A and B are shown apart, each in its own frame.
Chain A
Amino acid sequence: MGIKETLPNNGNHSTGSEPATHVVTLVEAVNLALARAMEQDENVVVLGEDVGTNGGVFRATAGLKERFGCKRVMDTPLAEALIAGISVGMAAQGLKPVAEIQFMGFAYATFEHIISHAARLRNRTRGRLHCPMVLRTPYGGGIHAPEHHCESTEALFAHIPGLRVVVPSSPTRAYGLLLAAIEDPDPVIFLEPSRIYRMVKQEIRDDGIALPLDTCFTLKAGTDITLISWGACVHETLQAARELDKQGISAEVIDVATLNPIDYATILASVEKTGRCVIIQEAVSHCSVGSEIAAMLAEKGLFFLKAPVGRVNGLDIPMPYFQRENLYMPDVHEIIATAIKTMEYA
C-alpha cells in the first residue's frame, strides 16, 4: 500500500456532479473537509480564535467565513474554556460545532467542559442529550516554535471515557477522518500534527466521503516486525521501515489513527503474524497511549510475542525550548535501532 504521493498540480474545481479533485497538504485537506461538511450540513459551525477574518493562524479555516458567513464561522473572544463550553451547549441544541483551539498547549483550560460535560452528557442523561462536537487543535513538536506550542499530550484526552481521539497522518486521512469526526454523534478530539501540516501533498477527491473512525490503517505490509505509530511520527516510522526493508527486515507499519477507542483487532492480528512490535510516539512515555498498547499486547499477545515490545518515545520531560528540541524528538535512527534490537531476540 503506502502513502500515494502525487505530483503537485492545481486543483480543478467541480463542474456538474463530478466531485473536484485537489492536490493538497494536510492543512488544506482540513480546510476542504470543513468546507465540505459545512456545505452538506447547515448545522455545522466553526468557532475559535482568529478562525474567521484571519482564516486561522495555520490557515485551516481560510475562506470559510467569506463563504459561509460570520454566523457559521465565529471569531470568539480569547477564551478557551468558553469555546469548549459554548460548543457543549450548541451541540446539545443539535448544532455541530467544530471548535479550533489554536495550539494543544492552550487546550488545558477546556478540560472541565470536555471531561466533565462533553464526554458524559449522553451518559448522564441516559441518551436524552448528546454532544456532537469536534475540538480540533494542532499539536506536536519539531516546528521550532515557542514554548507551549509543541505539546503531544494526546494521552490526557485518550484517558477520558466518552471521548474519541483522532489523529490524521496524511492529507487523505485528514480529509476523511475529519468528515467522520464531524458526522459522529459524539464528541471527538481531532489532533492535527502541525509538523506535517505542509510536508506532503496528496490528491483528494472532494466527494464528502468519510473514512471509518475506530480503525487502524495498515500503511505498509510486512512479515517480520510491526511498527505502530500515529500522527507526525508515522513519517519517520515509514522511513525506518523502508531502511529496514533494505536490511532484509520486512516491517509492517500501522497508523493507529483513532487513539480512543483503539482498533486492537488490527494490531493483534499484525503482531500475531510478525511476533515482534515497536511502538513509536512523540509523547512522553509515562502513562501514554503507547503504554496502553503495550499493556494490551502483554495481556492478549504474550504467547505469540517473540520479543519484548519495543518503544520509541519522547523524553519524560517537558518539550525543551527549540534549541534542544531535536534531542527530544524520536528519530529514524532510534526507530531502526529499536527494531533491530527487537529482531535480535531469537
Chain B
Amino acid sequence: MQFTTTPYTEHQLIEPGGNATGTLPGWMQDQDLLLKFYRTMNLIRVFDKRAIALQRTGQMGTYASCLGQEAIGTAIGCALKTEDVFVPYYRDQAAQFLRGVPLYQLLQYWGGTEWGNHFTGTAREDFPNCVPIATQITHAAGIATAFKIRGQKRAALVTCGDGATSRGDFYEPLNLAGVWQLPMVLVVNNNQWAISVPRALQTGAPTIAQKAMAAGIEGFQVDGNDVCALYEAIRYSLDKAHAGKGATLIEAMSYRLCDHTTADDATRYRSHEEVNAAWLKEPVKRLQTFLHQRGLWDEQKEQQLITDCQQKVEQAVKDFQSQPQQPVDDLFDYLFDTTPPHLIVQRERTKQKAARLAGGNHHGH
C-alpha cells in the first residue's frame, strides 16, 4: 500500500531580493496599502529597538522583541476588520498598534502595569498579551463559537509561536475549529526557535501547516517575511471565516533575529552564521527594494520616514514615562465586579504600606 502526504509549498509574492515571483494580484495596485505596510514595519522596528534600550537601562522590564517578525503583525493588523477580534501572543506589537493600541501602552505592559492591557477603540474586545503559551488559542475558539452562536459575520484571529504548537492548547481548539466550522484564523509565527529549542525538536512533521489536515481545516505555509503574501493569505482566511466556511491555519515562516527576550542570550544555542543568513531574508529591506523598483519609494522619503518614526517613538517613551503611578486601589478594585470586604480591609492596609515605602522608612517604627 502506498500512502501519500500533501506537499506544502510556501506562498510567496515577493522573493528576498525584492522581485515579484510572478504576476501580482490586483489588490497590490493599492499603493497606499503597500506604503502602510512599509511605514508600519519601520515604525515597529524603531519602537522595538527603543524598547530594548529601555530595558537595558532599567527603565522597563523584560521585553520580547519582534525583530525580523514585523511583517506578520503588520499583515494581521491591516487585514483584520474592525469587528473581528484579535487574540495575540506576545510578539504582535505591529498588529496591536494597527488595532489602535498606542505605542506608550505597549510599553506600559512590558513596563509592569496592568493598564498596558486596557485597550480602547477597535481593540476594546481584543485579548491582552498571553504569556501562558498557546492558551490563547482555546480562548479564540471560544470567541469564534460566540460569533457562530449569534450568527455574526465576525472572525477571531489568534497568533502563537512554533513552540506553542506542541501543546494541547494548540491541538484541541484546532480540532474544535474543524468540528464546529469555527470562524477562526490561527497564524503561527514559526520563527524557528522556542527559546533554545529549534523547530525540529517540536514536531517530527515537516511542516506545522499540515497539522490543519488532521483537524479537517485548511492550512498552508506562507513566507513570513513577505508582508504581501501574508496579507493575501490572511485576507483570504478572514473572508472565508466571515462567509461561514470555517477555520484556517497559517504557518508564517519567519526568523527570530533577536534573543528570545531581553532575559535571554541566544549565542548560547545558535550560530552567527544561521542568524546572518536569516538577515538576508528579513521583511523590511525586501519591501523597500520592491517599492524602489516600482518607483514608489526614494531616499528622501526614507529619511523622512526614519525621522518620523523616531519622533513617534520618542513621544511614546515620554508618554509612558509620564504616566502617573497606578493607585493602590487599582490592585484591589478590578478583581471582582464588587470588591469584597476582606479586600477592602487589605486595600486600606496596603495604602499605609505604600505611604511607608514611599517615605523610604524600611524597618524601624
Residue ranges of A at the interface with B (Cβ–Cβ < 8 Å): 49-50, 52-55, 57, 75, 77-82, 105-106, 108-109, 144-149, 240, 243, 315-318, 320-328, 331-334, 336-337, 340
Q: Is the CB of A79 within 8 A of B196?
A: no
Say whether B149 faces chain A, with CB atoms less than 8 Å apart. no
Given contacts A317-B335, A332-B362, contact A322 B195 (CB under 8 A): no
B321 to chain A, nearest CB (A): 12
Complex interface bits, B315-332 against A, C-beta within 8 A gives 1, otherwise 0? 000000000011010011
Question: What residues of A have a CB within 8 angstroms of the CB of B163 in the complex?
Answer: 77-78
Q: Is the CB of A57 within 8 A of B357?
A: no
Q: Is the CB of B362 within 8 A of A78?
A: no
Complex interface bits, B184-217 against A, C-beta within 8 A gives 1, otherwise 0? 0000000000111100011100000000000000
Q: A50-B196, A332-B363 given. 6 additional CB < 8 A pairs? A: A53-B269, A57-B264, A317-B335, A322-B112, A327-B350, A340-B365
Given contacts A49-B195, A332-B363, contact A327 B268 (CB under 8 A): no
Stretch of B34-42, B45-53, B164-172, B271-279 lying at the A interface: B164-172
Which residue of chain A is the closest to B110 with respect to CB atoms? A146
Count of CB-CB pairs between chains A and B under 8 Å: 120
Question: What residues of B have a CB within 8 angstroms of the CB of A315 in the complex?
Answer: 331-332, 346, 350
Q: In the assembly, what is the distance between CA of A331 and CA of B361, in Å?
A: 12
Q: Is the CB of A105 within 8 A of B62?
A: no
Please provide the chain B residues from 47 to 75 with a CB less than 8 Å away from any CB of chain A in the complex: 61-62
Which residue of chain B is the closest to A318 with respect to CB atoms? B335
Q: In the assembly, what is the distance between CA of A77 and CA of B111, in Å?
A: 30
Say whether B293 faces chain A, with CB atoms less than 8 Å apart. no
Question: What residues of B have a CB within 8 angstroms of the CB of A321 in the complex?
Answer: 112-114, 116
Q: List 25 A-B contacts (CB under 8 A).
A: A49-B195, A53-B196, A75-B196, A75-B201, A77-B166, A78-B134, A78-B167, A78-B197, A79-B166, A82-B166, A106-B132, A145-B61, A145-B62, A148-B132, A315-B331, A315-B332, A315-B346, A316-B342, A317-B331, A317-B335, A321-B114, A324-B113, A327-B331, A327-B353, A333-B362
Residue ranges of B at the interface with A (Cβ–Cβ < 8 Å): 61-62, 110-114, 116, 131-134, 163-164, 166-169, 194-197, 201-203, 263-264, 268-269, 325-326, 328, 331-332, 335, 342-343, 346, 350, 353-354, 356-357, 361-365
Question: What residues of A have a CB within 8 angstroms of the CB of B362 in the complex?
Answer: 331-333
Q: In the assembly, what is the distance between CA of A318 and CA of B112, in Å?
A: 14
Given contacts A323-B326, A324-B331, contact A78 B111 (CB under 8 A): no
A156 to chain B, nearest CB (A): 15
Q: In the assembly, what is the distance between CA of A327 and CA of B330, in Å?
A: 12
Q: Is the CB of A75 within 8 A of B197?
A: yes
A284 to chain B, nearest CB (A): 10
Q: Identify the 9 closest CB pairs spanning chains A and B, nearest first.
A: A54-B196, A77-B166, A322-B112, A78-B163, A323-B112, A321-B112, A79-B166, A78-B166, A50-B196
Question: What residues of B have a CB within 8 angstroms of the CB of A53 in the complex?
Answer: 196, 268-269
A82 to chain B, nearest CB (A): 7
Question: What residues of B have a CB within 8 angstroms of the CB of A323 in the complex?
Answer: 111-113, 325-326
Question: What residues of B have a CB within 8 angstroms of the CB of A49 in the complex?
Answer: 194-195, 197
Question: What residues of A have a CB within 8 angstroms of the CB of B196 in the complex?
Answer: 50, 52-54, 75
Q: Is the CB of B346 within 8 A of A77?
A: no
Q: In the assembly, what is the distance between CA of A336 and CA of B362, in Å?
A: 11
Q: In the assembly, what is the distance between CA of A55 and CA of B107, in Å?
A: 30
Q: In the assembly, what is the distance between CA of A323 and CA of B194, in Å?
A: 28
